[in-house]
Every structure is written in C-alpha cells, then in structure tokens.
Amino acid sequence: MDSRPLNGSSIIHANEAHVRCQCTVDLISRRQRPYRFRVKVWGEPPHEFTRIYEITAISEERAADRGLRMFEAEMSRPLAILATLQ
C-alpha cells in the first residue's frame, strides 16, 4: 500500500489511530489484599466499544490504569475490532 501525500497531507491508516478511552472502577471485594475491582472501560470513536474487566490490584488507581492499558492493547490490534463486529 502506498502512503504518498495527498494534497499536502499524508494518508492516515486506521490502525495508526490513538485509542482514547475512559473508565469507572467499582470495588468487588475487600476481604484480602490485593483487592478485587470491576473496571468498566469505554472508548471514543472509532473505538466505540465497552469492556468490563475484573482486576486484582492494591488500589483503585492501579486497577484503573491496568484496565485502560488492557483496553488500549485490545483495541490497538487491527483485527480485534473486526472480531467484535461479527
């Protein structure tokens, strides 16, 4: 595939888009450390999907960070989005 500039701008491929997402974190269990959290992550276009992860972490911040990284890794794979549409 050729990526020559078109009218002074380069062609942007879909798999080069940055994944933009947000999340909420709910505490599931506080019985022992590390705690269990439910992290709900949703993306902005073109990654308009929602994922819910159960994550074990020592704090809300670490659970949120891990959930966001998991979502980003999943959406960064070009075929991951196509698989969810089938």
The answer to whether residue 11 is domain-embedded is no
d(CA 70, CA 13): 22
Ordered mean pLDDT values, 10 residues apiece, the chain (86 residues): 43 61 94 92 90 96 96 79 60
pLDDT confidence of residue 16:
54
* 7 within some domain: no
User: Is beta strand 21-29 parallel, antiparallel or unpaired with respect to 35-43?
Assistant: antiparallel
Q: Give the residue numbers spanning the domain of 65.
A: 17-85
Q: How far is CA 62 from CA 35, 70, 74, in A?
A: 11, 12, 18
Do the domain assignments include residue 8?
no
pTM of the model: 0.71
Residue 46: the pLDDT is 82
Angle between helical axes of 78-85 and 60-76 (0-180°, round to 10): 90
Domain count, the chain: 1
Flag whether 10 is in a domain.
Answer: no
pLDDT at 77: 77
Does 69 map to a domain?
Answer: yes
The pLDDT of residue 6? 43
5: in domain: no
| Cα–Cα distance for residue pair 43/29, rounded to 1 Å | 26
- Whole-angstrom Cα distance, residue 7 to residue 29? 56
